[in-house]
Structure 1
């Protein structure tokens, strides 16, 4: 299959898992740009990728699937938070919102659940 150096030069090593793969997607290729791969990596993972760094610019299908799942999860969480904040604001405007923090009873007992 060739040396590790040859894999890096020919683009068969995934930037995320560093494993060799026959099929990879170029992060800055047409499809990689369309899928915003570099932006997603930079946002969701504790690494940064750029066109000028010396590391591989390819990602394998498994890592791409995991990155897309992370993106969908974060989008869903952000949408839910936005919706819940809007519902809370609407209840506050109507005067029907009562915060648990306003009661003097103290925190709920969660040990009996």
Structure 2
């Protein structure tokens, strides 16, 4: 058995890839809770995990790394979207205009609307 204090168990099945691994992390252990593993799985993957379901409650190092990469990607995308929305609101507030279509027969520039 691995150290339970560090949230590591040895010789269990990964909840995500269903493969046996020598070292896994318990999803609801101290480290799993600190890393918000169950919340990330439920948010980013098309499965739901809970303490009461009958399936494994462990995740392997490879799947954890992939889950963390997905989390970083989503956080980066959300940050960029918020930044772009803020810039758009600032332009609208200053009365800036943007061209919607250069080949249009209508007016060349239309005001940006929320």
Which TM-score applies when normalising by structure 2?
0.79
1:75 aligns with 2:112: no
- The alpha carbon displacement at 1:98 in A equals 1.9
- CA RMSD in angstroms comes to 1.8
CA distance in 1: counterparts of 2:73 and 2:48, whole angstroms: 20
Give the equivalent residue in structure 2 for 1:56: 56
Give the equivalent residue in structure 2 for 1:110: none
Give the equivalent residue in structure 2 for 1:39: 39
Q: 1:48-68, CA deviations, whole angstroms, 9 ceiling, x for partnerless residues?
A: 000000000000000000000
Structure with the larger helix share: 1
CA distance in 1: counterparts of 2:67 and 2:90, whole angstroms: 35
For the residue of structure 2 that corresponds to 1:21, the secondary structure is strand
Give the equivalent residue in structure 2 for 1:20: 20
CA distance in 1: counterparts of 2:90 and 2:73, whole angstroms: 26
- Structure 2 unmatched ranges of 5 or more: 1-9, 106-114
- Structure 1 unmatched ranges of 5 or more: 1-9, 107-113
Give the equivalent residue in structure 1 for 2:96: 96
Structure with the larger strand share: 2
CA distance in 1: counterparts of 2:99 and 2:78, whole angstroms: 22
For the residue of structure 1 that corresponds to 2:90, the secondary structure is helix
Runs of 4+ in structure 1 off by over 4 angstroms are: none
CA distance in 2: counterparts of 1:99 and 1:41, whole angstroms: 41
Give the equivalent residue in structure 2 for 1:105: 104
CA distance in 1: counterparts of 2:11 and 2:104, whole angstroms: 62
